[in-house]
């Protein structure tokens, strides 16, 4: 299937590893001019070089922290009017609700709600004017299935999803779509980290924690990052122009509700 993306441009935030990189790779493979982003300059340059050699053309990159004004400005200076914006950022560490104060909540909101909202605000006018735009927010299954140890993530990301649902209604007339990808248990560095945290929290071994991750998924396996990237690329395509404002669960069939 030709996704009709060749020649488009994209900013993919936090895209030097994991699900962000999977999305960047899928888009770049479809001919999109992708701007990679990461906080570590050396790592970001290395990943951009590796992806460029993989797809046979240079890949642009910006080493910047998207939670800062300077970081967002640097990304937009490199790609002022992207056709596609993929919002992504590291999630808050798991912990107990009683331990969180104003600083922890402010940091979670800045990273996982405010920063992506400001990027959306910056790119929307040009998308609407040229009558094409695709915005993908990589959030979390915690948006619809919160857990006691993930209240920071659930709160901030649910706020982002709610705010952009209203925006999606307004911009659909201009062929600008907004979707949220809700991953659960993909085989990435994040899940290795979460398993280590669970091992400490539950007083079990790391191997036991990893086994529990697999058992928590209906498909009885962890997701593969390329599967995630493929869904992102499709939602950015011409073929997905008649759907918007959706929360797409990517969880091996684990989401238990009807809606």
Residue 40 has pLDDT above 90, yes or no: yes
Give the integer Cα–Cα distance in Å for 228 and 183: 8
Please list, in sequence order, all residues whose beta carbon lies within 8 angstroms of the beta carbon of residue 15, skipping any fewer than 6 positions away: 21, 23, 24, 34, 36, 37, 38, 47, 86, 88
Please list, in sequence order, all residues whose beta carbon lies within 8 angstroms of the beta carbon of residue 142, skipping any fewer than 6 positions away: 150, 153, 154, 157, 158
> Could you read off the pLDDT of 205-226 as tens digits, one per residue?
999 999 999 999 999 999 999 9
- The pTM score is 0.95
What crossing angle do the helices spanning 18-29 and 225-235 adopt, rounded to 10°? 50
Give the integer Cα–Cα distance in Å for 29 and 229: 10
As given in the structure block, the two tokens for residue 238 are 């011409």
Residue 148 has pLDDT above 90, yes or no: yes
Three-state secondary structure along 52-64? HHHHCCCCEEEEC
> Could you read off the pLDDT of 27-39 as tens digits, one per residue?
999 999 999 999 9
Identify the pLDDT of residue 58.
96
């Amino acid at each position: 299937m030709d996704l009709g993306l060749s020649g488009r441009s994209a900013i993919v935030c936090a895209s030097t590893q994991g699900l962000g990189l999977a999305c960047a790779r899928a888009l770049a493979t479809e001919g999109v001019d992708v701007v990679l982003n990461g906080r570590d300059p050396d790592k970001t340059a290395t990943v951009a070089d590796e992806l460029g050699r993989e797809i046979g053309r240079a890949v642009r990159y910006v080493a910047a922290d998207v939670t800062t004004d300077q970081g967002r400005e640097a990304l937009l200076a490199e790609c002022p009017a992207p056709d596609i914006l993929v919002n992504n950022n590291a999630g808050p560490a798991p912990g107990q609700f009683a331990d969180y104060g104003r600083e922890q909540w402010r940091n979670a909101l800045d990273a996982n709600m405010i920063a992506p909202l400001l990027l959306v605000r910056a790119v929307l006018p040009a998308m609407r004017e040229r009558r094409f735009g695709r915005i993908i927010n990589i959030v979390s299954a915690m948006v619809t299935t919160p857990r006691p140890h993930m209240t920071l993530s659930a709160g901030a990301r649910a706020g982002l999803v709610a705010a952009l649902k209203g925006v999606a209604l307004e911009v659909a007339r201009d062929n600008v779509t907004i979707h949220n990808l809700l991953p659960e248990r993909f085989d990435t560095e994040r899940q290795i980290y979460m398993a280590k945290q669970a091992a400490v929290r539950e007083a079990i071994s790391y191997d036991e924690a990893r086994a529990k991750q697999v058992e928590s998924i209906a498909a009885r396996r962890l997701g593969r990052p390329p599967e995630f990237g493929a869904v992102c690329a499709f939602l950015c395509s011409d073929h997905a122009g008649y759907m918007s404002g959706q929360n797409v669960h990517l969880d091996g069939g684990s989401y238990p509700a009807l809606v």
